[in-house]
Structure 1
């Protein structure tokens, strides 16, 4: 497994920095000469070349012009923007509220045929009930201190559940047993959420596996991740959304998912765990 889920973003930043460094060298310029042409301090050039400071669109255009490579500017700008989208803080994504992000997830699910999901904290959004989603999003809004559009965001999140019933979509979900037990919402909302899991399990589009507390681990518990077909993994950390597209890392996430699927329980065994969690609510 990769040491950090942000390694794709850091690797991409470094690759962009190397491309800019090569442009400078191909132009026969030293760092100081490039800095003089760009009209900024040499320390800025050093930070950009080390991948420590992300260049702005204007920085890239100036850099390319200084290297007589203006024709490469737009391609490098597009690359830089893609790198910027790999690791995005939730506070930035939620700066106007959560509704827009939920709508973006809807579009992502709409174009995905097979969505493999691993969660260790809460059920995935497309499985959530209105009461549970409201409780969770209220917590997130309070924690992040971002604008409160919970009602609109919940509606946008719940809209994803239509893909459980419509179109050629497949949802293969692995949950740690802890997801059933964490009191993320009040007892009534938790009970409703657990009953809803029982209701969606028979759907043809759904495969739900639970990893029991007692399972012999082959892969340690991880942060939640969504594998969209075989082209993108979205990892959810406390502070950021991380988008992984590097083939080697995609393969690592798929390997981890397959390994955890082997120790999960399904069908009646999974239902027994869910009913036990319901009974524990009293």
Structure 2
């Protein structure tokens, strides 16, 4: 079988803010319909890398998307005031005026099946954004990103702020959508068991590329020690690898 063509090729990528190097000599590629996970400590430049891929920050080096690449982005968080009088339906109308299309997209992320079970198809669309749970809001953001019919989706920590029971639901949804829509997925995660279970390849990032390749080959104690600057304890979970480590907070995740 011939290898799949790349939808993204990055080489020699460097990002610098105020003479402070955030990313240095980053290179990797992503094949069509594959899933790339990006891991690294807080402050490693993961979110900055996303912004560079989206053309939102200046950089040197090359970021080469395929000519037909159409990118959707799902942010880590969307701060919504509880008293904001904006319903889910209002939110979707910023991007799509056809109500039938909104129903189709909402159905694709599993909402209307739940609504029908509750005998109220319009419950979700009439709900204010500020009244949604973390998992519900994340599905709304995924649906919103899908409105433009992208063939690439970027997720910045897709389960941040979601309880453990909701994490698997979100990742299963992403996996289902990838299969149904022939999507290429690039996501940032701190969960090694998720990386092992869902990703075809992993980029280990800490301002520079520490490792890149299939999870089974590169997610190991030696590489993780280089990545996090300390010993990382791996253990087997039912769905793959997990880890214990300590991380320091700063502003360039």
Give TM-score scaled by structure 2 length.
0.31
Question: Higher strand fraction: Structure 1 or Structure 2?
Answer: 2
**Greater helix fraction, Structure 1 or Structure 2:** 1
Higher RCO, 1 or 2 (CA under 8 Å, sep at least 6)?
Answer: 2
Say which one has the larger Rg: 1
TM-score for the superposition, normalised by structure 1: 0.28
